[in-house]
Structure 1
Amino acid sequence: MLSVGVGLSTIVVALATIFITHWVRKWRNPKCDNGVLPPGSMGFPLIGETIQLLIPNRSLELHPFISKRVQRYGSVFRTNVAGKQVVITTDPKFNHYIITEEGKSVELWYLDTFSSMLPIYAVGSVQKYIRSITLTHFGVEGIRVNLLPQVEQLIQKTLCDWSTKPIVDVKHDATCMIFDFTLKQLYGYDWEKSTEIRHSEKFSSLLHGLLSLPLDIPGTTFHQCVKDRKELLSMLKDIVEERMNSADKFRGDFLDRAMEDMKTEKFLTAEFLSNLMFGILFGNFEPISSVILLTLKLLSEHPSILEELTAENEAIVRNRKNPSSPLSWEEYKSMTFTLNVVNEVLRLGNVAPGLLRKVTKDIKFNGYTVPAGWNILIVTSAHQLNPEAFKDPVKFNPSRWKDLDPTVISKNFMPFGGGVRQCAGADYARAFVCTFLHVLVTKYSWTKIKGGKIVRRPILDFVDGVHIKLTQKSS
């Protein structure tokens, strides 16, 4: 009996070994029925190469996960991230093609963590509506007519408050400023008059949860992220429903416009609008605050650039009939070097890790095939750090923008995405940061106290933030 038991155990172990070996081999060598897959490695079973992708990189250079594989496999390679089969591309021609294939052979795709946090997936007329209403409020005309003076007033008040503090945590305080201002634009929220805890305090950690493993278990970062999201969405939905019950009052904010559109757009519901406002809110506060943070760090390290930036903005103030007049649209448009500074920070910062698409029809490129069902990550940072397009690509040099060919810019500079899904808030983000810099350098000086160590995982972050002491200039 003992020998029979041992024999059965041996057979079971052998079969299990064969099965696991076959499964691992199949994982590492996925099939492509209609061609040859790009070269690459699928990493460990189940987790793929997720861990390698999330290993922090402490510089502005292209993430080592990308650069090492480009050297090994070329500009287009395959991998597996969080259990998803992904083709990563740094090839300009292929990337341009993928961006133009939206709605044809590719569609928008998010990692599971992002999909669960940002539930609106819009195509066709719904996507066009979302883009239209966002541009109406946050686009060029909205900035020129309404937002620019409001943004300047907000920044003046915020920086005045900062100057009274012994030390300012720029990341935290800038995030609060942008978050609360965006809520005000969406539905008239005024945190100074609110009896609740500032919403920015409760939800500023959302982005970090998106970069964690999607384990919705108490005690995990992702679980807290899910909890925060539910709380914010519930709050936004209550506000929408309250507004629906008092439609006779007109406040002139984003939600009022959406309420009016509910008469003709049947897909507009309280749940849809709460999700839409959440998406706009999320797309605003984190990227803008990160750009402000990186700008202050880089200007602190490059005094000659800060001097030129200050000279341009002080000249604007001197040329006014009344130095206390608010920043005009014409003055904003004349801030050439300031905009170059912002563009250079956007180029280096690469706040978003790239553009994600899902393949709906087989795509063939340079002898390789990306099968339907696979996913594509377009690494925009590879373009923006391309030495052929930008000399000394990791050097902070705003003056380079004076002589850059517009064609080079259009093909290699994509901080706000590209194609039909280019961020509708791009002009608003630039205007906000430019106005922040205008008020900052004309009225204040600052000293960096601590922080400033960069980390990418792969989204731009700072190990310990950037802490400054702000001092008001003598008039």
Structure 2
Amino acid sequence: MGGVFVCVFIFFLTLLTYIFLSRGRREPQRRATLPPGSMGWPYVGETLQLYTQDPSVFFAAKQKRYGEIFKTHILGCPCVMLASPEASRFVLVTEAQLFKPTYPKSKERLIGPSALFFHQGDYHTRLRKLVQGSLSLDTLRNLVKDIDAIAASTLDSWGGGHFVNTFHELKRFSFEVGILAIFGHLDARYSEELKKNYCLVDNGYNSFPTNIPGTPYKKALLARKRLTKILSVIICERKEKKLDDKDLLGCLLNSKDERGETLSEDQIADNIIGVLFAAQDTTASVMTWIVKYLHDNPKLLEVVKAEQKAVRKSNDEGNQPLSWSQTRNMPISYKVVLESLRMASIISFTFREAVADVEYKGYLIPKGWKVMPLFRNIHQNPEFFSDPQRFDPSRFEVAPKPNTFMPFGSGVHACPGNELAKLEMLIMIHHLVTKFRWELVESQSGIQYSPFPVPMYGLPARFWKESTV
């Protein structure tokens, strides 16, 4: 019996020893690694490669070589690029709290540190609700008549066959619509002063940041100070009138937080200028592409003309302004807008910054690294949009797959003014195709970045009113 007991004891001791040793030899957990990619030269990284070619070509080549997640180093920052819908949703929606919006300090100085898109958390939530409220569908419904008048006035000045820089003219149109949405009917003297100084800020926004007198950036800083003073006067006048206006300024002035505190003048000024920045160049860029795409697709242009001429006929041949219901019932033109947003992809990517080490699909995104969802790459991916280089509005007869079409971004930092932008585009299309024929002055098909992609030289063109043909 004693020998059996010893054998059993030795067996269990051996078994326990094997289990213990096996546990000790277990493979250590794989640690996340950085995504594949090249960091380029010290400090400079791959910034020169990015800005000496079409960014679409640069990012597409990277994606082809490394896959849908890759690293690089641009603008002095290590970056992780994301070119899949799932990764974009991860950063912008499902785990948005791990990635804060980020901009270079030089740009923040020009717009103002209190602007909506520089923040996360309660302040961002509060401001976003205010901006969304001032640009809600109910509010836009009441702006149609005024936007229609601005569009008619802007485009009517193009007739006669003289040279027009389409992009510059459409920037003027989108600026005036922005002023309308922010202030309502603003005194002309204030509007002109705002426009003059805003243009200087706009010109310096993407210039080299230096305080040397006479440089575009220094001029922009000085113009920014003047904008603050002008806005202060406008704000004081509005406070004295104690109006309950529903425009953006009214919403900002009448807002109180849970402690009953109102926004400061600096906070209001920063957010007004931020909205102007977000609204003007992007919307004008897309509208410029619409003019080109319609010109380059004559059969489509005729179909759009037929749709819009039917609208014009129902409005006593244009003697009555467009109505809200009419702008909501332009199916062909609306698909032209959507396809233009996809093709042009004005917002090619967006900047976020990891606030902690983040693991995604086995890759490490280190804290402090920039993270850039590449909207343009997704919009140009043949897996989601067949023959993506072909302008085909009919593709939007079927809704795109989720997270594959993000012209206004996604998540809590998506553009709150997207409905206003689309409304502007539809109204512009109506006046363009019912009143004009046009030809492009330059035949080049290139793209320039300023910083948003626009047709080369701003799409110079000549316009003739149909009635004079």
After TM superposition, the score normalised by the length of structure 2 is 0.84
Q: RMSD value over aligned CA atoms?
A: 2.7
The residue aligned with 2:249 is 255
Aligned ranges 1:187-202 → 2 under 5 Å:
187-188=183-184, 190=186, 193-194=188-189, 197=192, 199-202=194-197
How far 1:172 sits from its partner (Å)? 1.7
Deviations 1:302-347 (A, max 9, x none): 1111111111111223345775332222221110110110111110
Aligned ranges 1:128-207 → 2 under 5 Å:
128-144=125-141, 146-163=142-159, 166-188=162-184, 190=186, 193-194=188-189, 197=192, 199-204=194-199, 206-207=201-202
The residue aligned with 1:447 is 439
Kept after mapping to 2: 8 A contact 1:417/1:423: yes
Deviations 1:225-260 (A, max 9, x none): 33333332332233224433x143566543223222
Work out the CA distance in 2 between the residues paired with 1:196 and 1:342.
29
Work out the CA distance in 2 between the residues paired with 1:182 and 1:285.
7
Kept after mapping to 2: 8 A contact 1:353/1:458: no
Q: Which amino acid aligns with 1:370?
A: I
Work out the CA distance in 1 between the residues paired with 2:319 and 2:438.
22
Deviations 1:58-90 (A, max 9, x none): xxxx62221121122221111112221211111
Deviations 1:338-396 (A, max 9, x none): 01101111101111131211111222122211111211011011111111111111111
How far 1:195 sits from its partner (Å)? 7.9
Deviations 1:374-428 (A, max 9, x none): 11011011111111111111111112212x3x351x3211010001111110011
Kept after mapping to 1: 8 A contact 2:197/2:226: no
Q: Which amino acid aligns with 1:392?
A: D
How far 1:438 sits from its partner (Å)? 0.8
Using the TM superposition, name which of 366-375 and 225-234 deviates more. Answer: 225-234
The residue aligned with 1:73 is 66
Using the TM superposition, name which of 197-206 and 119-128 deviates more. Answer: 197-206
- Note if 1:239 corresponds to 2:231: no
The residue aligned with 1:425 is 417
Using the TM superposition, name which of 102-111 and 304-313 deviates more. Answer: 102-111
Gaps of 5+ in 2: 1-29
Q: What number of residue pairs does the alignment pair up?
A: 433
After TM superposition, the score normalised by the length of structure 1 is 0.83
Using the TM superposition, name which of 96-105 and 450-459 deviates more. Answer: 450-459
Using the TM superposition, name which of 341-350 and 159-168 deviates more. Answer: 159-168
The residue aligned with 1:309 is 304
How far 1:298 sits from its partner (Å)? 1.5
Deviations 1:163-217 (A, max 9, x none): 25722222222212221332233224657x4288554344336556443443443
Kept after mapping to 2: 8 A contact 1:359/1:371: yes
The residue aligned with 1:412 is 404
- State percent identity of aligned pairs: 26
Gaps of 5+ in 1: 1-32
Deviations 1:284-313 (A, max 9, x none): 111111111111112111111111111111
Kept after mapping to 2: 8 A contact 1:102/1:420: no
Work out the CA distance in 2 between the residues paired with 1:212 and 1:462.
20
Kept after mapping to 1: 8 A contact 2:245/2:251: no
Kept after mapping to 1: 8 A contact 2:179/2:191: no
Using the TM superposition, name which of 123-132 and 392-401 deviates more. Answer: 123-132
- Note if 1:36 corresponds to 2:36: no
The residue aligned with 1:351 is 346
The residue aligned with 2:110 is 117
Kept after mapping to 1: 8 A contact 2:255/2:262: no
- Note if 1:288 corresponds to 2:283: yes
What secondary structure sits across from 1:88 in the alignment?
Answer: strand
The residue aligned with 1:298 is 293
Q: Which amino acid aligns with 1:157?
A: S
Sort the Cα spacing of 1:439 and 1:177 in 2 relative to 1 into closer, same or farther, 3 A: same
Kept after mapping to 1: 8 A contact 2:135/2:181: no
Work out the CA distance in 2 between the residues paired with 1:82 and 1:332.
41
